[in-house]
Structure 1
């Protein structure tokens, strides 16, 4: 086992989730993440934590989506609901055996699956908002994820652990420095009423008055590096063209263009995968509104890897998410989906706050 995986487990339990003896932890992951789950489990036991593991098998999900009826696809076991209601923390570990396993699944089946999981998301959002539950999502590098990123496994491991500063002597100290700097940015943004984003084929504005900007510094995503809020739901006006493909369940949607009026998507096109884009927007009423606007700040992540855990953090980018917003930022938008799309700002991109230029060519100038 790579010693960096053990170090990552320690950072997540001690810094990201900030767990203590007696806490109950649910660890979720797939077959390929088992080596890392063992390291988390081992560290949790040493810390006096009570861990339980939910190990998913990718082929079973494929079987369900291909052959299950609507009721079966939407079914959530009572044991899953109980776990979400009773644990103190959830760690979700991503790392696929085959990133394209669900590529050919009918989009309507994917929509049903999202609707079924809404039951869990309601519990999750309520307990997170009430500070009863902690959550962190991370990735264990696998061959499939490395291939998706056009890297060897060794290169991808260096990329993943480097993005989280795991290869530094004291990663926790580094993330505490990130927290301090982004606290400063968030305090300034909290005073602003309107945000306008301008880039290639993009001019979009939204009101954020009364909404809280959140500092993402390694607590809920790891690695991390962004600041975000949820715009006032009916305030989004304008158009945006996303620079990179949108990835949903292994399927790529290329050259996405959205136009908003009174907060709602009124026009949506894509050069490839437009059918899936329209299906996602039709998931429910909340899917047509923005749940998030965010600015990536991790300049250690320099390349697009088709994995939004890393891509949305790329220093010099912004991302918008259709669907579910975040209660902690003040969002009132609920949806069964939350789907991020990425826009590069490093070549001429600008962000204005209440008419003042605060960000240019991929960096804050405040």
Structure 2
């Protein structure tokens, strides 16, 4: 069992720095029953910080699997209105949302990928209005992870379940800076570093980024008025929060019609309880026109077929190869961690906040500015120690951004 005091520090960090919980604010927590002990610590801390209400939505991998094995399609694709209304009522009240994600990466590996895709699409359609609250920073939200037995064994297969969980706790504590004397202060410093990087990139106003590495040769046009984000975000009411813990990225959006070339994955992608690995995508005018995968080909196909926007990109993120997650040498089979080990891109919906004035634009206005829309948003990793990135400036000059997986820019210049 992981150290109780460390878990308490982690819970407090998630509440103070993650969602920045305010006195009198409600909190919604999504968690698994396997993480009940840690979740109770979070709830207790939340009330100590002044939460007026803490509502927990529980999930259970075993029950999820049983449903996929036995329920008809009509059940999997019908989302009760009360479920949607629950989230909307909390959002309208300005509640904070904390998701504790720890799903078994192989949970649905034996389930027909088409059934999983149908269920995922139905859920995304039902929650579209609520997703606008999070993707436009109208409420504070944060995602963290804690070890579960199946997940830990996937990472440390040669250890017993308990030893694997203990090893994963140690890695998580280190990566999210809970091992520091003052994790909140450590995150303040980390956010300041990411802020400096994104401010530098925003001043550069690159028209295009060119990625080259083994299996990757691709150009990303950046829309006029694009905005680099990273680290802490700010709600429309002015409160800072950290959407992802950990996070090592600065990110923006590529133009939905301006991506050309081929990109190859550098880490496995855990999507919908299945692993997609060793895959590549070829883009023309922003759209995937060819793809292949050594593992999870059908799952990738169904992801791309979610809707028209799933074949285009909504995010482009830069992460140096020397990030703490990358240096761990581990593959986490969890996008929250793996995406912060490596430069990555996302199929699907773009964050409207990644373009000037985007949060106030209609869907038609966003489309005119090159902002992709979709029911899905799925990050996958393309960075490595062999990745070079060049940026094309507004006056047409080419400038080194990454060399051999690391920053080539001087943020102090």
TM over 0.5: yes
1:202 equivalent in structure 2 = 216
1:3 equivalent in structure 2 = 5
Aligned counterparts, 1:97-108, within 5 A: 98-108=104-114
Counterpart-to-counterpart distance in 2, 1:11 and 1:101: 29
Q: Is the 8 A contact 2:221 2:255 kept in 1?
A: yes
1:94 equivalent in structure 2 = 101
The equivalent position to 1:300 in structure 2, one of 300, 306, 324, is 324
Aligned counterparts, 1:115-134, within 5 A: 115-134=121-140
1:80 equivalent in structure 2 = 83
Aligned counterparts, 1:310-349, within 5 A: 310-314=337-341, 317-330=342-355, 332-347=371-386, 349=387
1:309 equivalent to 2:347? Answer no
SS at match of 1:312: helix
2:237 equivalent in structure 1 = none
1:290 equivalent to 2:333? Answer no
Inter-CA distance 312–188: structure 2 relative to 1 (3 Å threshold) = same
Cα drift, residue 248 of structure 1: 1.6
The equivalent position to 1:59 in structure 2, one of 43, 57, 62, is 62
SS at match of 1:141: coil
Counterpart-to-counterpart distance in 2, 1:131 and 1:240: 30
1:174 equivalent in structure 2 = 186
**Farther off after superposition, 117-126 or 301-310:** 117-126
**Farther off after superposition, 65-74 or 45-54:** 65-74
The equivalent position to 2:32 in structure 1, one of 30, 36, 42, is 30
Inter-CA distance 99–272: structure 2 relative to 1 (3 Å threshold) = closer
Counterpart-to-counterpart distance in 1, 2:151 and 2:136: 34
Q: Is the 8 A contact 2:77 2:122 kept in 1?
A: yes
Counterpart-to-counterpart distance in 2, 1:154 and 1:129: 34
Counterpart-to-counterpart distance in 2, 1:292 and 1:93: 23
Counterpart-to-counterpart distance in 1, 2:275 and 2:133: 32
Counterpart-to-counterpart distance in 1, 2:309 and 2:375: 8
Q: Which runs of 5+ in 1 are unaligned?
A: none
Cα drift, residue 287 of structure 1: 0.8
Q: Is the 8 A contact 2:107 2:274 kept in 1?
A: no
Q: Is the 8 A contact 2:269 2:380 kept in 1?
A: yes
Aligned counterparts, 1:108-257, within 5 A: 108-150=114-156, 152-190=164-202, 191-208=205-222, 209-217=224-232, 219-257=242-280
Q: Is the 8 A contact 1:290 1:322 kept in 2?
A: yes
RMSD (Å), alpha carbons: 1.8
Q: Is the 8 A contact 2:105 2:334 kept in 1?
A: no
Inter-CA distance 278–178: structure 2 relative to 1 (3 Å threshold) = same
Question: TM-score scaled by structure 2?
Answer: 0.83
Instruction: Give CA-to-partner distance per residue, 1:124-167, whole Å, 9 cap, x none.
Output: 33223554311111101222221111262222111011000000
Count of residues in Structure 1 that have an aligned counterpart in Structure 2: 362
Inter-CA distance 283–129: structure 2 relative to 1 (3 Å threshold) = closer
SS at match of 1:167: coil
Q: Is the 8 A contact 1:84 1:123 kept in 2?
A: no
Q: Which runs of 5+ in 2 are unaligned?
A: 233-240, 356-365, 393-397
Counterpart-to-counterpart distance in 1, 2:5 and 2:151: 20
SS at match of 2:343: strand
Inter-CA distance 251–131: structure 2 relative to 1 (3 Å threshold) = closer
